[in-house]
Amino acid sequence: MLTRVADWLDERTGYRSLVAHALDEDIEGGARFIYVFGSALLVIFTCQVVTGLLLMATYTPAVNGAWSSVFYVQHKVSGGWFVRGLHAYGAQAMIVVLGMHLLQVTIYGAYRKPREVTWWFGLALLGIVSGLALTGYLLPWDQKGYWATKVATNIMGTVPVLGAALQTLIVGGADYGQSTLTRFYVLHVGVLPATLVLMVVGHVALFRKHGATPPHNADRKVIGKFYPTQLALDVVFSVLVLLTIAILTASSGGVHLDAPADPSVDYPPRPEWYFLSIFQLLKYLPGSMELLGTIILPGVAGLFLFALPFLDRSPTTNPRTRMQWLAPIFLGLLGAAFLTWQSWNDDAHDENFQRAAAAAHVRAERAIELANHGIPPGGPVEMLLKDPETRGPDLYAANCTKCHVLNKAGEYDAPVHTGFASRKWIAGMLHDPQDPRYFGRTEIDDMKSMDDKLDEAQTKAVIEFVFAEGAEEGDRIAPDKALAEQGAEVFEDKCMDCHLYKGKGADTFDGPDMTGYGSREWLAKQIAKPESIYGELNKMPDFAEDLSSSDVQMLAIYLRGQRFAEPETGPLPELKPKEEKKDE
């Protein structure tokens, strides 16, 4: 029965002759494992098409919907994380295998006459695959893809004469938005894949016309066949590649989805590893020499590779006789590898980057947590804007770090907020209020150490009293009410000559109003109208006009959380004199 069906189909399509033609390929010098890369690339691309179509079934190419749809695939669809991981790691595998293929072609001299056009098709394929990786990176519309792609398009904008126009064409306007996402989506799922298919067809046709280039020492009298030996080798390698992609996906839990893209939030942008060498190179070049790294060196490298078939006139394909042409390629690869490693190493030892990356990770995890409870119609950014745990840090970074420090980020010109209003923070402030971590860099210099004014028991009681002022029902660390009451008595006796408390105390502000110290209400008043807390001593600007009441409350909630954190300890960084800082 099967034979009859096969005969019927062959009579109408001639598929047997097509299959025979595809498998009956002569291989000069015999089948070799080094020839497996081309077939592996076709297998990986097929995997990319299949996984890409599955992702497209749930993806929404809209600024307010892209992240939400990717979140849905990643966390709600059964196996969605695995499909997305296969697609992401498959993109990287294509770049690696294509690079290995081009390197093998280079070593074997397979770019020489009459295979020049085949070589150019291969270079074009590398460019298209890189374009697919770049355009796909933005589609989740998360912080990582948004900022990394922005770095790449900014580099494009440095091209002389045409750079600005090209950048505007790709971005779709002055800045990233819906037009950008739409254009990248069209490029990624339509233009570039179609172009890649055409290039692959042309490349394979040219390869079949000229055949494989054997090693220089191969016995060219030996003529192998693609089927069965070379096909078996290709299948083995392709399966190994697919298994590697699957293992990487499974072991990593898929690819990370960062927080929703938000241009108003600081983020430490880094491109993917295959673009890191250019990113690192730009660090060593001043602005006036930026073109050297973005245009000149990559352009020279591209022209060299394009012209290589004409430059290499060696009598044989022996790599030793062609070393003057191979050496620049090997040195370029070593240089790119070194720059990539250097970038990773720099980031690993950069405290500011590590701190920013950790904050970005926390934000991403919080976004996932919130999304699990539902994403509002306004999109995931709106979801984060209404969340104190994410909105608070954003507001603090934008408005407070010019004077204050929190988690070692900011300026030591006002009290450090790390662990603010915690028992240990209060104890440190009572011990040495003029320490730079407290009021030492402000104009509030009347308060002296309370060590001589209070004994150990009184100090402990006052600490508990001040800590209790910011307490709320349900706090995981509750104050000792009895001890706080003792502290209130000590405070009234020892501290009310400078401070206010519940409307009583000093006639003029010599210290802050301690009523509700560290509570949400107290913090909100200090942020919106700080003179209501510090009186004439206040030097802090009002934020009532710059921040909405909702943002003030969110910032207050965020700062209040520091009462449960450990205050900053250890040596301080080198600080500029206050006078010098003021003049700047």
- Helix (H), strand (E) at residue 116: helix 116-138
- Can you give the pLDDT at residue 295? 84
Mean pLDDT is lowest, of 259-263, 283-287, 431-435, for: 283-287
Is it the case that residue 579 has pLDDT exceeding 70?
no
Only one residue has tokens 């690192």, namely 280
Sign of CA dihedral 199, 205, 206, 208: positive
Return the domain boundaries, the chain: 22-352, 388-583
The answer to whether the CB of 416 falls within 8 A of the CB of 405 is yes
- Can you give the pLDDT at residue 559? 94
* Rounded CA separation 62/180 (Å): 10
Structure letter (DSSP) for residue 435: S
**How do residues 183-207 score in pLDDT, each as one tens digit?**
999 999 999 999 999 999 999 889 8
What value, to the nearest 5°, has the Cα angle with vertex 541 and ends 526 and 561? 35
Report the pLDDT averaged over residues 59-76.
Answer: 95
Confidence of residue 513 (pLDDT cuts 50, 70, 90): confident
Report the pLDDT averaged over residues 120-138.
Answer: 94
Higher pLDDT, 293 or 551: 551
- DSSP string for residues in 4-27: HHHHHHHHHH-HHHHHHHHH--EE
- Can you give the pLDDT at residue 582? 44
- Can you give the pLDDT at residue 558? 93
The answer to whether the CB of 388 falls within 8 A of the CB of 366 is no
- Can you give the pLDDT at residue 509? 62
**How do residues 458-477 score in pLDDT, each as one tens digit?**
999 999 999 999 998 888 88
Q: Beta partners for 224? A: 27
* Rounded CA separation 103/107 (Å): 6
**How do residues 81-113 score in pLDDT, each as one tens digit?**
999 999 999 999 999 999 999 999 999 999 999
* Rounded CA separation 329/188 (Å): 29
Confidence of residue 545 (pLDDT cuts 50, 70, 90): confident
Instruction: Report helix, strand or coil for 501.
Output: strand
Query: What pTM does this model have?
Result: 0.82
* Rounded CA separation 101/99 (Å): 5
What is the maximum span of the chain, computed from C-alpha positions, in angstroms? Answer: 107
Is it the case that residue 584 has pLDDT exceeding 50?
no
**How do residues 377-413 score in pLDDT, each as one tens digit?**
889 999 998 888 888 998 998 899 999 999 888 999 9
Tokens of 367: 């976004």
Instruction: Report helix, strand or coil for 311.
Output: helix
SS (H, E, C) 364-382: HHHHHHHHCCCCCCCCHHH
**How do residues 151-160 score in pLDDT, each as one tens digit?**
888 877 777 7
Is it the case that residue 219 has pLDDT exceeding 80?
no
What topology is assigned to 22-352 in CATH?
Cytochrome Bc1 Complex; Chain C (1.20.810)
Report the pLDDT averaged over residues 269-296.
Answer: 86
- Helix (H), strand (E) at residue 241: helix 231-252
Taking alpha carbons only, the member of 366, 405, 406 closest to residue 386 is 366
